[in-house]
Amino acid sequence: MEFRDVILLLHPFVAVVVVFPLIGIVVNRALQTRQRRLQTATEGKSKIPPVVGQEHVQLGRWLTSAVIGVVLLALANDVFGNIIDKNMWTQNPWKVMLISLIFGVTIASLTLLYQAKARLWRGVFATLAGTSLVVLGCQEGVYRKTEQWYVSHYYYGITAALLMIFSLAILREIYQDKTNRWRTVHIVLNSIALLIFIGQGFTGTQALLEVPLAWQEPYIQKLYEQQCDKKPCTVQASPAPQATP
């Protein structure tokens, strides 16, 4: 297994070890927080400790960072892998620098979003972070599977990341709005996000089967070129160029 293949496997590794356990804990705290709120409103007290609300918020912030981080990891692997394969650094260095800058803007915007308090700045940084993710996802080399977007790991992941960013941006409104309108928006959007995460479990497994390892890529490319999915055929990868003595 080549080094590039190890980097490719980092994305599912982080998702399984970090992201999905956090999702379970956040959902658990969310249900406890809602149950405590309902019990307090109807019975005046609840056996559920009030700290569950704070834990839900803190873990939700961690989940947002984890989701954005794992999305950036996947995008970086695809985008910079394509840059290396096509030697774009020598052919179009300004484009490579711009792509690198967009990665930096995404990370910086998310960091500033965590720190921002004013609604205006939270909106600005959330917009910058979300737009940067979409722009990075549109770069050449990203495995999008647009023709089957309804089972695309990429589209599910980008949608989930955007929902996480929006939830982080409206966090203060949730606790300041006495009408609970923002709380309702938060519940609806994150319920959708949970369904998307469940879909990610399926599409992610599917993507692992579809994305080849480095040594398999030339053979897979030949299969696509000769339309071997529609007819039986035998392929052989082009021989590697011999080093000049």
Interacting residues of 151 by C-beta distance below 8 A, sequence separation 6+: 145, 202, 203, 206
Distance separating alpha carbons of residues 20 and 165, to the nearest angstrom: 17
pLDDT of residue 245: 47
Amino acid sitting at position 136: L
Predicted confidence at residue 234, as pLDDT, reads 74
The structure tokens listed for 219 are 């053979």
Which of 104, 122, 205 has its CA nearest to residue 166? 122
Q: Which residue has the tokens 């356990």?
A: 21
pLDDT of residue 1: 66
CA distance 3 to 1: 7
Q: Are 22 and 63 in contact (CB under 8 A)?
A: yes
State the DSSP code for 49. -
Joined together, the tokens standing for residue 30 give: 């969310």
Closest listed residue to residue 8, CA positions, set 84, 87, 78, 79: 78
Tell which residue, 2, 186, 183, 153, has the closest CA to residue 70: 153
CA atoms within 13 A on the CB side of 72: 19
How big is the chain, counted in residues? 245
Could you list the pLDDT tens digit for every one of the 245 residues in the chain? 677 778 888 899 999 999 999 999 999 999 999 899 888 888 878 888 889 989 999 999 999 999 999 999 999 999 998 898 888 888 889 999 999 999 999 999 999 999 999 999 999 999 999 999 999 999 998 989 898 899 999 999 999 999 999 999 999 898 888 888 998 999 999 999 999 999 999 999 888 888 887 777 777 777 777 777 777 877 665 555 554 44
Contacts of 208 (CB under 8 A, 6+ apart): 12
Q: Quote the pTM value.
A: 0.86
Taking alpha carbons only, the member of 208, 196, 206, 115 closest to residue 162 is 196
pLDDT value for 243: 46
